[in-house]
Chains A and B, each alone.
Chain A
Amino acid sequence: MPQLFPRRANALPILSLVGALVGGVATVGFVWYYFSPEYTDVGYAPEQPVPYSHRLHAGELGLDCRYCHTNVEMTAEANLPPTETCMNCHAQVQTEALSLQPVRKSWAEDMPVEWIKVNFLPDYVHFSHAAHVNNGVGCETCHGRVDLMDVVFQPEPLSMGWCLDCHRNPEEQLRPDEAVTLMGYEHPADFMERNAERIEREGIQPPVNCSACHY
């Protein structure tokens, strides 16, 4: 019988083995990273109808988060401020600024500014801001250093695994109530013990069952 394949075909088994291994690892790595919200969502920063700067308002002017997002301690939803809130100041301040034109238009025509939602969860997830804010989860933990953002972006993946990480180990994230809206808060050295003690005292039990969020 004649030889069908040249001598160098002897490398094929090794090559296909190596190729299968490398291909397998590469596929797993590719899907694991590039298909996750960590890659697809983090850093999402759409252009807003008004170039609103959190750095200016929350950082330099030192407004507390709750001045605009008033409902955050009371309801599930952290509201966006209505045009009225903007006009509290901007009826007097920067009245001629070109960038504020859409706000004045909204005020004059009684139509809302069409802000674009950045931190987006699907509707089958029911998230409550109040439940978190009142139990010592700081704004910064999930939304990042908003006081340094000129344009708001999504700093965390908001994936279910990310939520569950914190629900399983809340003592790593909690902070005292008075520091909830504080940006740049630094944990004291013994914060894990303090948080564990608080969790024990207040009976904080972050749910990890389906019905907590998915009803």
Chain B
Amino acid sequence: MGHSTSHTTEAPLVTGNLSFHELTELVARHAEKKPPMIWYVAIGISSLMLLNLLVMIAYQVWNGVGVWGNNVPVGWGWPIVDFVFWVGIGHAGTLISAILFLFRQRWRTSINRAAEAMTIFAVICALLFPTIHVGRIWVIYWTLPIPNQMDMWPQFKSPLLWDVFAVSSYFIVSLIFWYVGLIPDLATLRDRARSFIRQRVLGIFSMGWTGSNRHWRNYEKAYLLLAGLATPLVLSVHSVVSFDFAVSIVPGWHTTIFPPYFVAGAIFSGFAMVVTLMVIARKVYGIEDLITLNHLEKMNIIILLTGSMVGFAYITELFIAWYSQVGYEQYAFINRVTGPYAWAYWIMMSCNLIAPQVFWFKRLRRNVPLMFIISILVNIGMWFERFVITVISLHRDYLPSSWGYFTPTWVDVMTFVGSFGLFLTLFLLFLRFVPMVALAEVKGVVPQADPHFYDRESS
């Protein structure tokens, strides 16, 4: 049988020629041994930030939403900006775990666990903001379609209600997807556990996984189905979030480009966040053989791709505003470029459209310090994108008599800072207690897993 060897071989996904056992040791020990000192420092800082978040929420619920800088033209300020920002961050996780799985991108295996965890924690942060930005948090259950003594149901025409369904089902599906992926790895930890309690706890969470042929067959099917379900979900969730704006009549919001453009932006910012976190985690935890420069490069290519899509959307918006011949629409964009918030617009443009273009150069997209800086710039830019869309469109619209200026208060700022505390605390707990790399999957992509590996070795 003619065996062609002329096809280009992919660069190895795992370097260092690690055996299966070395892989297990490399990853599992971080969930078993005492964490490094820097972990304690990090969680100390992040839990202080989390405490600050709780204080801010209590302060705001007690005193009312007027403690934020929102005013009457700008009813949606930082809380909605932060909401969209965090939902966006969450999208990269599902893209990596579901969409790249459907495309059989094997390089996803080293990063999917951390990216999915990031999704879940980002969605928790995101869910926080729609919950607290309402004036009366205690009746928020009225947004759920529950039969009640009032005979009242939510308004199913409102995208804000779709948000409730979209984001909560996104959270649930992401959690299930992540958990299903975790089961074989939890079983590995269970089998390595020495203490009685640890064995039982991991034994319950790994649900009796023995790694039998039948287990794996069903597991792979379930994983594929979940990936197939999560893919339309990830595209629709951020589209629904974009409908909050696109369905309105505000110039600068009422745009049909929003659904795909928001999704592209979400993947853009989400991948940037993954790069930020992975650059640090691979260093601190010494897993550079698993998350290699090739992985980071591929993520940077996706950042470049989605960043250019977002840039294309910015230009399209400007073009359509001019082309529309609608005065309000034209003014909305002139106001973005030259108005009182022009600084925000230009931060957005330079961070999102210009900065990632350096990734066209192979040398630059394999440069770890540079990609770290760019990934942070991208997230700053993407936060400003949401700020630009939300605030600049609202503060000057149809009636000049209702033009205003929005200035955030310290509560706005501290709540946003606190949401990072929530995110980082959860992420650090994840790094401490759960295998941060999907062991079972990585073992499937190392060269030794190829049934022909030893044939080639001997020839």
* B151 near A36: Cβ-Cβ < 8 Å: no
* B203 near A37: Cβ-Cβ < 8 Å: no
* B199 near A161: Cβ-Cβ < 8 Å: no
Q: Is A4 an interface residue (CB 8 A)?
A: yes
Q: Whole-angstrom distance from the CB of A213 to the nearest CB of chain B?
A: 12
Q: Which of B150, B151, B152, B200 contacts A4 (CB 8 A)?
A: B200
* B200 near A32: Cβ-Cβ < 8 Å: no
Q: Is B149 an interface residue (CB 8 A)?
A: yes
Contacts of A161 in B (CB 8 A): 148-151
Q: Is B191 an interface residue (CB 8 A)?
A: yes
Complexed CA–CA distance, A162 and B152 (Å): 12
* B151 near A164: Cβ-Cβ < 8 Å: yes
Q: Is the interface of B mostly helix, strand, loop or mixed?
A: loop
In the complex, which residue of chain A has the Cβ closest to the Cβ of B151? A161
Contacts of B190 in A (CB 8 A): 4
Complexed CA–CA distance, A35 and B200 (Å): 39
* A159 near B150: Cβ-Cβ < 8 Å: yes
In the complex, which residue of chain A has the Cβ closest to the Cβ of B207? A13
Contacts of B149 in A (CB 8 A): 35-38, 157, 159-162
Complexed CA–CA distance, A36 and B203 (Å): 42
* B151 near A160: Cβ-Cβ < 8 Å: yes
Contacts of A36 in B (CB 8 A): 148-149
Complexed CA–CA distance, A5 and B204 (Å): 9
User: With A4-B199, A4-B203, A5-B203 in contact, do A160 and B147 touch (Cβ < 8 Å)?
Assistant: no
Q: Is A97 an interface residue (CB 8 A)?
A: no
Q: Is A1 an interface residue (CB 8 A)?
A: yes
Contacts of B151 in A (CB 8 A): 160-161, 164-165
Complexed CA–CA distance, A190 and B410 (Å): 69
In the complex, which residue of chain A has the Cβ closest to the Cβ of B193? A4
Complexed CA–CA distance, A38 and B150 (Å): 12
Q: Whole-angstrom distance from the CB of B33 to the nearest CB of chain A?
A: 22
Contacts of A38 in B (CB 8 A): 149
Contacts of B210 in A (CB 8 A): 1
Number of A interface residues in the complex (CB < 8 A): 15
* B203 near A1: Cβ-Cβ < 8 Å: no
Q: Whole-angstrom distance from the CB of B399 to the nearest CB of chain A?
A: 25
Contacts of B203 in A (CB 8 A): 4-5
Contacts of A32 in B (CB 8 A): 147
Q: Whole-angstrom distance from the CB of B48 to the nearest CB of chain A?
A: 36
Q: Whole-angstrom distance from the CB of B280 to the nearest CB of chain A?
A: 36
Complexed CA–CA distance, A5 and B199 (Å): 10
List which B314-354 residues lie within 8 A (CB) of chain A: none
List which B97-156 residues lie within 8 A (CB) of chain A: 147-152
Complexed CA–CA distance, A32 and B149 (Å): 8
In the complex, which residue of chain B has the Cβ closest to the Cβ of A4? B203
List which B207-228 residues lie within 8 A (CB) of chain A: 210
Complexed CA–CA distance, A162 and B148 (Å): 11
Contact with B along A1-28 (1 / 0, CB 8 A): 1001100000000000000000000000
Complexed CA–CA distance, A87 and B451 (Å): 104
In the complex, which residue of chain B has the Cβ closest to the Cβ of A32? B147
Contacts of A165 in B (CB 8 A): 151
Q: Which of B148, B150, B152, B191 contacts A1 (CB 8 A)?
A: B191
Q: Whole-angstrom distance from the CB of A11 to the nearest CB of chain B?
A: 13
User: With A1-B191, A32-B147 in contact, do A160 and B152 touch (Cβ < 8 Å)?
Assistant: yes
Complexed CA–CA distance, A60 and B190 (Å): 80
Q: Whole-angstrom distance from the CB of B211 to the nearest CB of chain A?
A: 10
Complexed CA–CA distance, A143 and B356 (Å): 72
In the complex, which residue of chain B has the Cβ closest to the Cβ of A160? B150
Q: Whole-angstrom distance from the CB of B57 to the nearest CB of chain A?
A: 25
Complexed CA–CA distance, A205 and B150 (Å): 20
Complexed CA–CA distance, A99 and B210 (Å): 81
Complexed CA–CA distance, A194 and B148 (Å): 32
List which A136-164 residues lie within 8 A (CB) of chain B: 157, 159-162, 164
Q: Whole-angstrom distance from the CB of A7 to the nearest CB of chain B?
A: 13
Complexed CA–CA distance, A159 and B199 (Å): 53
Q: Whole-angstrom distance from the CB of B450 to the nearest CB of chain A?
A: 27
In the complex, which residue of chain A has the Cβ closest to the Cβ of B147? A32
In the complex, which residue of chain B has the Cβ closest to the Cβ of A5? B203
Contact with B along A158-197 (1 / 0, CB 8 A): 0111101100000000000000000000000000000000
Contacts of A164 in B (CB 8 A): 151
Pick the most buried of B147, B151, B152, B191: most chain A CB atoms within 10 A of its CB: B151
Contacts of A5 in B (CB 8 A): 200, 203
Contacts of B152 in A (CB 8 A): 160
Complexed CA–CA distance, A5 and B191 (Å): 13
Contacts of B191 in A (CB 8 A): 1
Contacts of A159 in B (CB 8 A): 149-150
Q: Whole-angstrom distance from the CB of A28 to the nearest CB of chain B?
A: 9
In the complex, which residue of chain A has the Cβ closest to the Cβ of B152? A160
Complexed CA–CA distance, A4 and B208 (Å): 9
- 4 extra A-B contacts, CB within 8 A, seeds A4-B203, A161-B149: A37-B149, A160-B151, A160-B152, A162-B149
Task: Identify the A interface with B (CB < 8 A).
Answer: 1, 4-5, 32, 35-38, 157, 159-162, 164-165
Q: List 27 A-B contacts (CB under 8 A).
A: A1-B191, A1-B210, A4-B190, A4-B199, A4-B200, A4-B203, A5-B200, A5-B203, A32-B147, A35-B149, A36-B148, A36-B149, A38-B149, A157-B149, A159-B149, A159-B150, A160-B149, A160-B150, A160-B151, A160-B152, A161-B148, A161-B149, A161-B150, A161-B151, A162-B149, A164-B151, A165-B151
Q: Which are the 8 A-B pairs with shortest beta-carbon distances?
A: A161-B151, A160-B150, A159-B149, A36-B149, A4-B203, A161-B149, A164-B151, A4-B199
